Structure 1
Amino acid sequence: MAGQTETVLNAILMGIDRGELNPGDPINENALIERYEVSRTPLREALLRLEAMGLIQRQPRKGAVLFKPSLEEFLAILEVHARLEGQAAGLAARRISSHAADRLMQIVEACATHARDQGNGDPDGYYALNLEFHKQVAEASGNPFLLDMIKMNARKLLAYYRARYDYPGAIAQSAQEHRQLAELILSHKADAAEALMERHVQFDRVTVMDLLAKLG
């Protein structure tokens, strides 16, 4: 039973990470039962865990839907997320190993190459690189609990970060800031890395309103 619960839970989490599930999308319980050959009890247990994480909401007569933030909720989550990402960058600047530094620079170069060769094209391809950059920084912090907290908060906003790369110039700016962040981390400038990362992941209020409107 526990294995079935984990199967459904991971399937929904992967759907969020890949952009297959977007804010406000309904969770089709019957489709999940059929696809993963699970019973209704482990499915409901998985949904209860996702609800406790704040990733789904239950609506009267509509069932479970993926969490869709209001403007105020978006700004509140973003405030926390920026601090967590900033803390990860600061810790990475203090703790990063030579092997992790090599991996970080590899993804920085991949981001720069994509921005140079693709321009504003293939935003989904760039977004995958962006996720890997932030994953490398968080792992380099050496704090697995912080990494889990970042993942949980990020999943509430992933669709909006992905949509941000549809805006002209957003990819080039992101790639440039990734290089600046990496240079600060590799130079062990913890305070500067933390401050820049917080700015890097933040949106101003107008952009937040645009993104909320864009995703309906």
Structure 2
Amino acid sequence: MTIPFAGPQIPALVQRILERIDLGQLNPGDLLDEAELAEAHRVSRTPVREAILYLEALGLVRRLPRKGAMIFRPTLEEFLAILEVHAKLEGQAAGLAARRLSRQGAEDLEAAVRACEAKAEASPDSDPDGYYQLNLRFHACVATASGNGVLLESLKTNARRLLAYYRARYRFAGAIPASAADHRRIAQAIFDRDAAGAEALMQAHVQFDQVTAMDLLAALS
């Protein structure tokens, strides 16, 4: 899951690169060519280098000797470690949402769940990218309902390090209907104000076992 950054604190060029990551136009291991970025965005090399440094500080870019900067591609150990933290953050957001859900937040969350259910029924094993966009909306609704801006920002950055792998997950048979069913259970716990239940369900929803993690890393290597 990921939620787009917003606000003037994010440099414009960084925002454009982040959008390409969100849309799957830049994937783990892809190199960031300074000259190409400068030409594409009609800027000099200086803001491009500054943008890459900014993304490196966020953990979204890694510099390799003699290769330059590339979109972060984790090892299995790194993947599992990041996932462990991300599951905790997602779970915490769901737990807080159960305690703080507003009427508008409930309406938005219900709409997001229904959209996922409709997509899962219409295209249970096809259009994974289409479903993934609906999945992002569900997680965004939960995170927003948590009412914690610091947690929200942590989720945004951490999720982008895993975004390509979550997207790839929906290529697996049965993954879309299973995800939509999870969303309904999580949402119901939030609607019922069951903070502990919502937190546990969300953590289980976003977690991968090691075998699945290895499959996803191999698929995007």
| Residue identity matched to 1:99 | Q
Q: How does 1:105-116 map to 2 (within 5 A)?
A: 105-116=110-121
Counterpart for residue 138 of structure 2: 133
Is 2:72 the partner of 1:67? yes
Q: Find the counterpart in structure 2 of residue 96 from structure 1.
A: 101
Match in the other structure for 1:44: 49
Q: Find 2:85's aligned residue among 80, 86, 89.
A: 80
Q: What CA distance in whole angstroms lies between the structure 1 residues aligned with 2:61 and 2:88?
A: 23
Give the Å deviation of 1:26: 0.3
Calculate the TM-score normalised by the size of structure 1.
0.97
Between the aligned residues of both structures, percent identity stands at 59
Shift of 1:8: 1.5
Counterparts of 1:71 and 1:46, CA distance in 2: 27
Q: CA RMSD in A?
A: 1.0
Residues 71-122 of structure 1 deviation map (CA, whole Å, 9 limit, x = unaligned): 0000000000000000000000000100110010001000000000111110
SS in 1 for 2:11: helix
Distance in structure 1 (CA, Å) of the matches to 2:124 and 2:212: 21
Unaligned runs of 5+ in 2: 1-7
Stretches of 4+ moved more than 3 A in 1?
Answer: none
In structure 2, the residue corresponding to 1:64 is in which secondary structure?
Answer: strand
In the alignment, which of 34, 37, 55 is matched to residue 32 of structure 1? Answer: 37
Residue aligned with 1:65, SS: strand
Matched residue of 2:24: which SS?
A: coil
* Residue aligned with 1:203, SS: coil
How far is the alpha carbon of 1:7 from its aligned partner? 2.0
User: What SS does the corresponding residue of 1:103 show, helix, strand or coil?
Assistant: helix
Please give the residue correspondences for 1:9-28 in structure 2 after superposition, counting only pairs within 5 Å: 9-28=14-33
Matched with 1:209 is: 214
Instruction: Check whether the contact 1:7–1:36 (CA below 8 A) recurs between aligned residues.
Output: no
CA distance in 2 between counterparts of 1:157 and 1:88 reads 17
Task: Give the residue type in structure 2 aligned to 1:124.
Answer: D
- 1:3-50 residue CA offsets vs partner (Å, 9 max, x unmatched): 9x8122111111111111100000021111111111111111111111
Higher helix share: 1
Q: Does the Cα contact within 8 Å between 1:8 and 1:32 map onto a contact in 2?
A: no
Query: Helix, strand or coil for the counterpart of 2:63?
Result: strand
Paired letter, 1:201: V
CA-to-partner distance for each residue in 1:150-208, whole Å, 9 max, x for gaps? 01000000000000000000000000010010000011000000011000000000000
- Specify the alignment match of 1:123 in structure 2: 128
Query: In the alignment, residue 209 of structure 1 is paired with which amino acid?
Result: M
> 5+ residue gaps in structure 1?
none
Residues 185 and 193, structure 1, Cα contact 8 Å, conserved in 2: yes
Secondary structure of 1:38 counterpart: coil
